[in-house]
Each structure stands twice: as C-alpha cells, then as structure tokens.
Structure 1
C-alpha cells in the first residue's frame, strides 16, 4: 500500500507543478497581485507533496514534518489572500491572528513531540477554515451566468472539509492513498476553477469595454465607419455616417469602402 501512497504523492507533485507553471505564465502576462499569490499557494502545495513523499520514502524526519506543516499553512494562506485581493478587499486581523497562532504551534509541537492526531489538528483545521472561507468568497462574487466561481467555490469548500479528516485518517494505511487522491482531485478542480473565475472577469471587462466603445461610436455626432483592415469591408457605421453618405446603416454594412463617395452626396 505504501507504493500506492508514493504514486499518489508523486502524481500530486507533478500535477500541481504544472498548475504552478500555468499560474506563473498568467502572472507574467497580466501582472496582477492575486495571480502571484495564487501561484505561490500552488507552489507551496506542490512542495508539500514532495516533502511528504520524501518523508514516506526516506523518513520520517522531524525537519521535513515541520516543513510540510508550514507549507500547508502557506497553501491555505496564499490561496485565501489571493481571493481576498481578487475581491478588492484587504487582509485583516481575523486572518493574521489565527495564522500566527497556528504557525507558532507547528515548531512548538515538533519540539514537544506532540503525537498524532493532536499534532495535525491545528494546522489542518486552519486549512479547512481558510478554504471554506475562500470558497464562500468566490461563491459570493460569482455571477449567475458564471461557471468558474461555483466550480472553484464548491471545490474549495469540499477540499477544506476533506482536510478535517487528515489528522485522524492519515495514519490509516489503506485509506491514505485514497485520501491524497481525493485531495488532489479537489485541489485540481479548485485550481482550474480559479482560472475560469479570472477569465470570466476578463471576458466581462472586455464586454463592458466593447459596449462603452459601441455606445460612444453610435452616439457621436461625427461620422464614424468601422472597417475591416484586410478587406476594406464596412463592418459598422453610426447614424452620423449614414446621414453624411446618404445610405442607411444596413446598406453601409453591406458595402466596401471603395463603393461610397468620400464626399456627402
């Protein structure tokens, strides 16, 4: 069964490394703060899989256990922070105080050799609470027509709830591989959903920008014609252009620029 656990962890590390590269590419193109925070979260999660893999294969090592728990906190915190930034809000004490307390617990618990499941409970309960809150943030921002917000929101909520069983079921040999696979599936759905959330916003902003342009285009007193630069076909015209050239807008849309006079008839 340990071999199945190794496969599950290795698969998770590879998949989330690809997710990190995807988010890093998006950040390099769009340069938004929340994309960098989300990328940092998935980097922490991929590294956490590697840390557990090394501990399972070569350990256990107390140092790797410490690193693993801190990476869990990093994943949860950066994901929630990114979503809060995406929503236009800022991080407050309600976020920082539990993070600080849980981060302080990890090295103290390692030094005191706190046994499972008590060692894991603060870390994974923090992760669960952060991802449930994260999911609710994205669900609250999701438009009725949007798929990404609902996909990411519910995946994050389920991913958070799934982590509540980690302190108790992680030592169960037969369940551990399935637990990591379930977690990886929910994590991947969350990562893909967040990408959809972002591009749904980009699409909405582009649509709003196009609507503003068209409103200005059609309401302006000056004659405007929109041309296809390759063919010279008239794609659109405003009422002022129709009045100027003596054609209806529908007629202008069926014409080539060379077919109309450059002066008013």
Structure 2
C-alpha cells in the first residue's frame, strides 16, 4: 500500500516532539504539507528545522500558539492555510490523587485535552465538508478505557475524546470527512523519557528496558510486553488520514499493544 497525501495540508497540534512530531514526519513523508504547532516560536522553529532535515523537500509551516484557551486557538487559526487533515494531538498528563486534584487542575486538563480539539474541529471541518474530503483524528489513549486510578482527571478527558470523535463523525456523515480516535498505550515519547530518566540513570538500563519493566509492572495485560515507539503510533495515524481509510469513521483505533483486555 502506497499512501500518497500530495496536495493535502495537515495540522498536527503539539507536534514539536514525541508522538506529534512522529505524526508530522509520517505525514510529510507521505507528501502532505504539514503545519507544526507548539507553544513557543523557538520550539516550533527548532522542530521545523529538524523535520526539514529528515524529510528533504517537505512543505512545512510553523504556527506557535498555546491551545489551552479559546484565545490560543483563535491565534492558531489566524496563522493557518486551508487544512485538509486535522490531528488533535495537544494534551497534558500527570499523576494526581483524585482527592487532591482541585477544580483548577480539572479545568486545565479539560481545556487543553478536550476543548482545543472541539474548537479546532468546529472551525476547520465546515470547509472540509464543503470540499467533500477531510480527515480529523483525535489522539486519545488506552487510559480512555482503562482509567488510571492515579490520573482520573486525565482518563476522563481521554474518554471524552472518544465520545467527541464518534459524535462528530455522525454529525459529518455523508460529507466525505472522516473522524476517528487513535488510542496509544505506553509509548516511548519525550514525556515518558522525562518520567523515567531518573530510573535510567540509577540503573544504567536502556530507555527501552526501563519502559518494558514499567509496562509489565503497571500494564501487565500488555500483549507486546513493551512500550510502543512513537513511529508505531504515527503509522496508524497516517493510515487513518489517508485516502485508503475512507471507510473508517467513528472508530476508536487502539495502538496500545493489547493492554485493554477485550476483543472489540
């Protein structure tokens, strides 16, 4: 299968590193023009330069904006060309006991993880529908279905993304615009590396070894028994963004290594 996205323009939110950067790279390698987004001009410029070196000849745009507020989303929208593919990847996570998680934290997670995707989808999908083609992908998490006891606030936002993607897919039925959610499991992202760097330094083990031990300790139902790479997650996103994925919409597509223990 050859995925060809020439002539399409994709926005990948929070794409200066980690899963977002891997998605941007995969889309660029498939021929799409890509808008890289991050919270600062510096991080966006650095990521754009890095991606240009990895994918020579790629058409890349940069758009700095913090998507945790309506003002930030508006600032991003003013910088965009016409968008055919929207990857709602912006999100934050971190452990916090339910009884110690205050309203301000809940609101911050809701605005960043849920409302950013709502606002961008509301603004960008009408033009996609008008041209009878478009792709919207929400980067959710296996935590949407396997709610972590130490991150209830995070899990709730990821579950909300599943409802949002399914409902929006139904709202756009028959338009040629597909809407899906992709659910990564434990992944060797920049955030995961930061979380485990002390353990890597203390033990002398590789990042992959520490990640595999984490998976088996905290996600023992994993079938692959390791963390996924960011590229493995990006592969699913690139496919569901493609012309070939035209019959896939309203789906929750797991790239969780089999952590969620069911058959659907």
TM (norm. structure 1) is 0.31
Tell me which protein shows more helix as a share of its residues: 1
Which structure exhibits the higher relative contact order, with contacts defined as CA atoms closer than 8 Å and separated by 6 or more residues? Answer: 2
Question: So what's the TM-score if we normalise by structure 2?
Answer: 0.31
Greater per-residue strand proportion: 2
- Structure with higher Rg: it is 1
